[in-house]
Amino acid sequence: MAVFVDLNITNCKEVKKLQSMIEMAAHLGYSAVAINHVAEFGKKKAEIVKPIATKDLFPSPPTVQGKSTPIKILTRLTIVASDPSHCNVLRSSSPITKLYDIVAIYPDTEKLFHTACTATDVDIICINVTEKYPFFFKRPPLNAAVERGIFFELIYTPAIKDSTLRRYTISNALSLMEVCKGKNIIISSGAEKPLELRGPYDVATLGLLFGLSERSAKSALSTNCRAALLHGETRKTAFGITYTVKKPRDDEEQESAEPPSKKAKKE
């Protein structure tokens, strides 16, 4: 049985509404959800806070429909970037990103999109679906992102709210698929209230309108999401290993550089 994941449940100040969305996701059959904290630097000073703890939401999380296991609640940070300086918080040395299971970026310009694909330490790149893209997707940066294990996210709630937004969503999605050929795609809800959530099989059907094959649409809600979570774990672990490696002393470096025959004579 497929394990379905929604990596974009919008964080809100109303705890009861957040609880209702998670309960609805569990009822629809999602095994895991990610609560998304959005930090938008363009309009005002963005506030990046510690992620909400599961115990602050539920004493015991709701059980997934059709399974005996509780839903897994994950944390996500999304940076809305309109200037290269906004990416500073995404550096590997930033302690705040290590607190989140998933780190995503929402680039506003072509230059930032290229940087996100080739150099930024993120797990997900968000694709704008609420307006026509001001630039065309290019194969080199997309291929670079795929090789780095980064995923592209499409959200479906705008497509069910308004006919104009539906047109933009489908158009931008098809433009993306034309270049990336359906690789490393994630479909999430971006839901702000329970009624905006849809069941995973309904969303997979919607993925066909985005230009995905039936298999790829299902993967966009299951295996690709799990791969993105694994990428997040690797990102945090790799950073930890990097910073704990000790630099060898000068005498150790000199000894390691000597040929084995010279070392044997010393012994």
- HEC secondary structure over 12-36: CCCHHHHHHHHHHHHHHCEEEEEEE
How many angstroms separate the CA atoms of 57 and 141, rounded? 39
Contacts of 18 (CB under 8 A, 6+ apart): 9, 11, 12, 35, 52, 57
Residue whose C-alpha is closest to residue 188's, from 149, 144, 157, 219: 157
Angle, CA 153 vertex, CA 206 and CA 57 arms, to 5°: 95
pLDDT of residue 162: 84
pLDDT band at 129 (very low <50, low <70, confident <90, very high): confident
Compute the CA torsion angle 197, 9, 222, 183 (nearest 10 deg). Answer: 110
71 or 240, higher pLDDT: 71
DSSP code, position 194: G
pLDDT of residue 94: 67
Contacts of 138 (CB under 8 A, 6+ apart): 114, 179
pLDDT of residue 11: 86
- Read off the pLDDT of each residue in 2-23 and give the average, rounded to a whole number: 89
How many angstroms separate the CA atoms of 150 and 146, rounded? 6
pLDDT of residue 121: 86
pLDDT of residue 91: 67
pLDDT of residue 136: 85
Q: Total structural domains in the chain?
A: 1
pLDDT of residue 8: 94
- Quote the percentage of the chain above a pLDDT of 90: 45
pLDDT of residue 56: 77
How many angstroms separate the CA atoms of 153 and 77, rounded? 14
113 or 235, higher pLDDT: 113
Residue ranges making up the domain that contains 70: 4-266
What SS3 state is found at 77? strand
pLDDT of residue 251: 45
CATH number at residue 230: 3.20.20.140
Beta pairing, strands 124-126 & 151-155: parallel
Q: Where are the alpha helices (DSSP H) in 29-97?
A: 54-57
- Read off the pLDDT of each residue in 65-93 and give the average, rounded to a whole number: 81
Distance in angstroms between the alpha carbons of the first and the last residue of the chain: 61
pLDDT of residue 13: 77
258 or 134, higher pLDDT: 134
| 197 burial via Cβ count (<10 Å: 0-12, 13-18, 19+) | buried
- Read off the pLDDT of each residue in 254-259 and give the average, rounded to a whole number: 46
Q: Which residues pair with 74 in a beta bridge?
A: 34
Contacts of 9 (CB under 8 A, 6+ apart): 18, 21, 22, 25, 33, 34, 35, 36, 189, 191
Give the pLDDT confidence of 164-201 residue by residue, as tens digits.
889 999 999 999 998 888 889 999 999 999 999 999 99
Is pLDDT above 80 for 30?
A: yes
- Read off the pLDDT of each residue in 83-112 and give the average, rounded to a whole number: 79
The pTM of this model reads 0.82
How many angstroms separate the CA atoms of 79 and 237, rounded? 21
Average pLDDT, the chain: 82
Please name the amino acid found at residue 131. E
pLDDT of residue 240: 42
Q: Is the dihedral of CA 145, 151, 77, 233 positive or negative?
A: negative
pLDDT band at 42 (very low <50, low <70, confident <90, very high): low
Task: Tell me which of 79-83, 116-120, 211-215, 244-248 is least confident.
Answer: 244-248
267 or 130, higher pLDDT: 130
Q: Are 57 and 73 in contact (CB under 8 A)?
A: yes
